[in-house]
């Protein structure tokens, strides 16, 4: 059974006139008659009683009319759904993100995306850059919001979301908190809160190398994997810590944030997607992340 025969039958059944149905379908009237006849032969029953003055549905035609509307309606919905999936207007978007993305408008980007693309469900997974890279390779993520630094990114495309620097978080009453900026050399012997080397060995080593070049050998008194924990420990007076200079850093009243001079690595947060992946929803999400990371720019 061909869909075009059902559509032609439906037009005739609703118009109850072959000529008007032909004009509605932009077909010649003989073609309409032939398609209806082909459907009747396939079903083995007449669907219309035709006279010189009228066209009337037979009982079989009444039944086929109800079924045809359902079949064609479901077919049109299926086609529309597939088109929305193909263009990224529907479906799901699995997004991995590192903690610093929360400090540059990720929540606002998600809110705007959901308002603009309501048929795309967003699934957010907080995980480190190495795990995001692995999940992208296994097609478990569509998009990663990561902090690459010396990671192998073959098979992935990188789009920078934000580029910034580190600032030094100090207890508010620390002697260095009165400086406009803090040279790395002033951290010699100072208690420092740092992330574990296992989290990103190359970044860890680069930070220690920068301190070493400045002639500073701080005392690493605590390791923590999150910025929130680091700021809490700074507020408690355990030491100072390097944190990315992002709009929503969230330092409390007991913490002072100071620019650092002396050559620490840049902070670069990037969107990672598989090479060749054409995901309009992912592209839009990246655009929103960029806009929220640098409002007004």
pTM for this structure?
A: 0.69
> Which pLDDT score, from 0 to 100, does residue 297 have?
40
> Which pLDDT score, from 0 to 100, does residue 209 have?
96
189 with 253, same domain? Answer: yes
Q: Residue 222 is encoded by which pair of tokens?
A: 């605590």
255 with 174, same domain? Answer: yes
Beta bridge partners of 223: 194
Q: How far apart are the first and last CA of the chain?
A: 58
82 with 206, same domain? Answer: no
189 with 59, same domain? Answer: no
With the CA atoms of 208, 209, 213 and 219 taken in that order, what torsion angle do they form, in degrees rounded to the nearest 10? 20
List pLDDT tens digits, range 242-291.
999 988 777 888 999 999 998 899 999 999 999 988 788 999 999 999 99
Whole domain around residue 125: which residue ranges? 91-163+268-293
List pLDDT tens digits, range 80-98.
656 656 665 547 899 999 9
> Which pLDDT score, from 0 to 100, does residue 276 have?
87
Beta bridge partners of 122: 93
> Which pLDDT score, from 0 to 100, does residue 261 have?
94
155 with 282, same domain? Answer: yes
176 with 56, same domain? Answer: no
Q: Residue 111 is encoded by which pair of tokens?
A: 């809110």
132 with 276, same domain? Answer: yes
> Which pLDDT score, from 0 to 100, does residue 85 have?
61
8 A C-beta contact, residue 119 and residue 99: no
Indicate the residue among 43, 66, 86 that finishes a domain: 86
Confidence of residue 113 (pLDDT cuts 50, 70, 90): very high
Q: What is the CATH number of the domain that holds 148?
A: 3.40.190.10
Q: What is the 3-state secondary structure (H, E, C) of the chain?
A: CCHHHHHHHHHHHHHCCHHHHHHHHCCCHHHHHHHHHHHHHHHCCCCEEECCCCEEECHHHHHHHHHHHHHHHHHHHHHHHHHHHHCCCCEEEEEEECHHHHHHCHHHHHHHHHHHCCCEEEEEEECCHHHHHHHHHCCCCCEEEECCCCCCCCCEEEEEEEEECEEEEEECCCHHHHCCCEEHHHHCCCEEEECCHHHCHHHHHHHHHHHHHCCCCCEEEEECCCHHHHHHHHHCCCCEEEEECCCCCCCCCCEEEEEEECCCCCEEEEEEEECCCCCHHHHHHHHHHHHHHCCCC
Rounded Cα distance between 10 and 75, Å, is 14
User: Beta 55-57 vs 48-50: how paired, if at all?
Assistant: antiparallel
275 with 155, same domain? Answer: yes
250 with 178, same domain? Answer: yes
Best CA proximity match to 213, nearest among 236, 245, 184? 184
Q: What is the CATH number of the domain that holds 27?
A: 1.10.10.10
205 with 232, same domain? Answer: yes
248 with 287, same domain? Answer: no
Rounded Cα distance between 282 and 54, Å, is 56
List pLDDT tens digits, range 203-245.
999 999 999 999 999 999 999 988 889 999 999 999 999 999 9
Rounded Cα distance between 72 and 69, Å, is 5
Give the mean model confidence (pLDDT) for residues 104-129: 93
List pLDDT tens digits, range 5-45.
989 999 999 999 999 999 999 999 999 999 999 999 999 99
246 with 183, same domain? Answer: yes
Number of folded domains in the chain?
A: 3
């Amino acid at each position: 059974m061909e869909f075009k025969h059902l559509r032609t039958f439906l037009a005739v059944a609703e118009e109850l006139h072959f000529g008007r149905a032909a004009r509605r379908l932009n077909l010649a009237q003989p073609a309409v008659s032939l398609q209806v006849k082909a459907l009747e032969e396939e079903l083995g029953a007449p669907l219309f009683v035709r006279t010189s003055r009228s066209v009337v549905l037979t009982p079989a035609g009444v039944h086929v009319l109800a079924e045809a509307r359902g079949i064609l309606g479901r077919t049109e919905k299926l086609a529309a759904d597939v088109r929305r999936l193909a263009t990224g207007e529907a479906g799901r978007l699995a997004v991995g993100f590192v903690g610093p993305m929360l400090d540059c408008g990720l929540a606002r980007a998600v809110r705007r995306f959901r308002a603009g693309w309501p048929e795309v469900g967003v699934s957010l997974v907080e995980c480190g850059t190495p795990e995001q890279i692995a999940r992208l390779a296994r097609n478990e993520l569509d998009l990663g919001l990561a902090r690459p630094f010396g990671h192998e990114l073959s098979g992935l495309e990188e789009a920078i979301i934000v580029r910034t620097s580190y600032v030094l978080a100090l207890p508010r009453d620390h002697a260095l908190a009165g400086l406009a900026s803090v040279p790395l050399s002033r951290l010699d012997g100072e208690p420092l809160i740092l992330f574990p080397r296992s989290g990103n060995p190359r970044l860890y080593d680069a930070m220690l190398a920068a301190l070493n070049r400045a002639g500073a050998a701080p005392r690493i008194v605590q390791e923590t994997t999150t910025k929130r924990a680091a700021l809490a420990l700074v507020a408690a007076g355990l030491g100072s810590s390097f944190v990315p200079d992002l709009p929503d850093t969230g330092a409390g009243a007991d913490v002072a944030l100071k620019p650092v001079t002396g050559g620490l690595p840049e902070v670069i947060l990037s969107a990672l997607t598989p090479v060749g992946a054409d995901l309009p929803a992912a592209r839009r999400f990246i655009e929103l992340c960029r806009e929220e990371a640098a409002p007004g720019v």
